[in-house]
Structure 1
Amino acid sequence: MASSVMPTSKTAPPPAVSAVGLRKSYGGKTVLDGIDLRVPAGSVFALLGPNGAGKTTAVKILSTLVAADGGQAQVAGHNVATSPDGVRAAIGVTGQFSAVDGLITGEENMLLMADLHHLPKREGRRVAAELLELFDLVEAAGKPAQSYSGGMKRRLDIAMTLVGNPRILFLDEPTTGLDPRSRHTMWQIIRRLVADGTTVFLTTQYLDEADELADRIAVLNDGRIAAEGSAQELKRLVPGGHVRLRFSDPSAYGKATAFWPDATRDDEALALRIPSDGSQRALRTVLDRLDSAGVEADELAVHTPDLDDVFFALTGPGVPRHATGIQPPTTHTDQTAEDAR
């Protein structure tokens, strides 16, 4: 009799951060109105939203700095309400305002953090030296931190956060106020940290930053998650993608308008705007129809919505919690609730 082998089931690894129904109010104003979050380990998760949307409040709750009014959350496998010490041992937090002491040197700031983490003197000096090198601060290490540029202070701030070797790093608007070169340097550092296995929970108002760094993005509006997904998934939610064809020959333009009677016409520029999702298949369809009509366009441009379009469609005064035409995000309530038990 042949023996049967039961198939082995692979369970998904637990998330680095999970939350179900987080709520928080201040003085009768609801800041978070039951948000769900799920952040896979070793990824970058970006939380977008306008000023006052609740991004910093979410970080404070998840990093045990503020208690939620409702809901539950786990970070690094620890319940933030019942096991805050376990959470704090696994995380690093860099807020919007630097924790750097400007009156002492960069190296002294690092060694102070090593002392706070109870590292032996020799170990503390080794860790400080490695991080100062990683963040390109060796030459400035012996100078008072108040002499540092904004980008240098931000790098030192994050380096100090990493002294305790956190598995999960919360970065609350880490590049606010930095010049473009310093921002790009910070992006490179974040990518390097994630490549080494760190999970990064990022809040930002810079849409290009989320587009560059994040594996998944959630958009906060009016205390709720208005949409969530990868950058590409979010861009596909917003209408407005199109292919623009421009012609120099009026007769060619006339033939093209007959093929696309529903396209937006610009008779003065001899241009057509054809709705499109920007995919290769959609573009091929346009080219095939031009070929079949024996028509050649002088210019062809593809426009797909960017995160700016997504942001403006989903946030701001007067925008409903789920903007017209935008589907609510797929929540992980059942699975996350199980994780949070």
Structure 2
Amino acid sequence: MKILVTGAAGFIGFFTSKILTEKGHEVVGLDNINDYYDINLKYSRLKELGINQKDAEVFNYLSRSDKSNFSFIRMNLEDRENLPSLFEEQKFDVVCNLAAQAGVRYSLENPDTYVDSNIVGFVNILECCRHHKIKHLVYASSSSVYGSNKKIPFSTDDNVDHPISLYAATKKSNELMAHTYSHLFNFPTTGLRFFTVYGPWGRPDMAMFLFTDAIINNKPIKVFNFGKMERDFTYIDDIVEGVVRICESPASERVKNNKLYKVYNIGNNNSVKLMDFIKEIEFNLNTTAEKKMLPIQPGDVEKTWADVDELIKDYDYRPNTSIKDGVKSFVTWFKEYYN
């Protein structure tokens, strides 16, 4: 198939593009390479996909990989002129929309960025899918839509009408808009509520990266809610396996049965205490971290845990990477990448 992967220079988008090309699909990656975090990491990911930095720096230029069936274009999802032209030229079969302005705390200070990327950009994606007969739109939602729900594990049947951050509100709005477009224009959409994703090439604003970086540089780590946090930490390989399975699965059966709209949790199906996660990092670095215990931050939640039974039933999705193996893999990559 020919697949558009947005957010291709990002953490999950990079790995998704990599696996899809290895499986023989033709992939066009799109990213605006914003400076929310170190753009050099984004360029390094693209280099792994065969795209040189000089080409990637140019907006609206489609560059070809020198080692795989991957192409890349730097573009904003908000670009109402060039995005439809890209769809018209490339004739995609499937769209995997992983581009978004991420981060809960950043949304408190930069709300406009979230509206532009996560809402305006997503409407543009929906419009392009509608007008260019895309067979299936797979898109990133987030576990943050559950807000401060107390029922554990989180189920897609739970009420998610009370987000506690603007980021979560934009993700909930994506699900609502996708439902509307599936209903009105008869094309399948699948939302994936990602739980805390970690692993090699991960985002520098995530706990795994921040803790490892601080410990290696002999700095204290910030431990929020005084350590009384639990997360459904999910290793990148397990996440991407689920994303790729859904992208590859024909949606024709869903169209026939009028089940066009679907949302899944995608996580490790388990909850890990934050302090146990930190201990695993300390073990791999052979160091005890200095911990700065702090209250919970606005927009944060105490515990997440994904009920992934539906994904298991529909796609035989089974996450199987332990925290022990996942943390070891990340720390090894971190040491090598940053020398």
Specify the structure having the higher radius of gyration (Cα): 1
TM over 0.5: no
TM, length-normalised to structure 2: 0.27
TM, length-normalised to structure 1: 0.27
